[in-house]
Structure 1
Amino acid sequence: MPLFLDGIDTIALIIEVLGVAIIVGGFAITSWRFLHHRMFHEQRAFMHYRHGIARSLILGLDFLIAGDIIKTVIIVNTGQQVATLGVIVLIRAFLAFTLHVEVEGHWPWQDSRYKNASSNGRRDTND
């Protein structure tokens, strides 16, 4: 059993490292693309930069949450650890939620039809 738990701990650590790498790599790639854009002072280029950083943060947070869940639920499942995980997941989920609204411009439960309809001045009644 200790070998199994060591394997799970290693897998959780790898997932968390991937999450950090996604955040750092996404920030670096997005920053490089922004600085090498021909007209990086334009508003449109800045919005692409913000969206790129937010997307890498959202994806990285998902990996970090997955690693925390695996580690806490399977390896260390004391009441205090589970409560701490719950708070961490709530904070990270709130961050991912607000970043999603910032990037997409609409609530997560609304699909792209709402965004297209509202930009044309009318709402889709199917939502």
Structure 2
Amino acid sequence: MSPIIEIIDTIALIIELLGVAVIVGGFAITSWRFFHHRMFHEQRAFMHYRHGIARALILGLDFLIAGDVIKTVIIANTGQQVATLGIIVLIRAFLAFTLHVEVEGHWPWQDSRYRRAAGGKTDDEND
């Protein structure tokens, strides 16, 4: 392999490792906050815990997708590997989409005005 390809491969690996670190770190921090909460058995604390884990997963998935795209498009761009990347990106995008709905409580294309009209709380009211 040429030195440039090796550098790009290393960069892609670092980005993927950052994604794993975000997921593991987000899970650890969110778990620590949950178990050190005075009333961690309350429903509200549990929902904050679930949302924290979902946010860490969303951000980590974004890093993992970026690393996969860099690695596949730049380094190994055979038809089979591009098709595999497409399937992986679709699965991860679907996971990120469903996690977004879980965390935010609405579809991504709906803004706070829609939620307010439907009787939901806005982001400012949730904090």
The TM-score, its normalising length taken from structure 2, stands at: 0.92
Q: Alignment partner of 1:119: what SS?
A: coil
Q: Is 1:85 the equivalent of 2:95?
A: no
CA RMSD after TM alignment? 1.0
Displacement of 1:95 after TM fit? Answer: 0.3
How many matched pairs?
120
Question: Who is 1:118 aligned against?
Answer: 118
Q: Decide whether the 8 Å contact of 1:15 with 1:64 is kept in 2.
A: yes
Question: Who is 2:75 aligned against?
Answer: 75
Question: Who is 1:125 aligned against?
Answer: none
Structure 1 segment 1-127 matched on structure 2, within 5 A: 2-119=2-119
CA distance in 1, matches of 2:33, 2:116: 27
Q: Please list the CA deviations of residues 71-102 of structure 1 after superposition, one character each: whole Å capped at 9, or x if unmatched.
A: 00000000000000000000000000000000
Percentage of pairs with the same residue: 85
State the AA in 2 paired with 1:38.
R
Q: Alignment partner of 1:58: what SS?
A: helix
Structure 2: gaps of 5 or more residues:
121-127
Structure 1: gaps of 5 or more residues:
121-127
CA distance in 1, matches of 2:43, 2:115: 20
Q: Which 4+ stretches in 1 moved above 3 angstroms?
A: none
State the AA in 2 paired with 1:48.
H
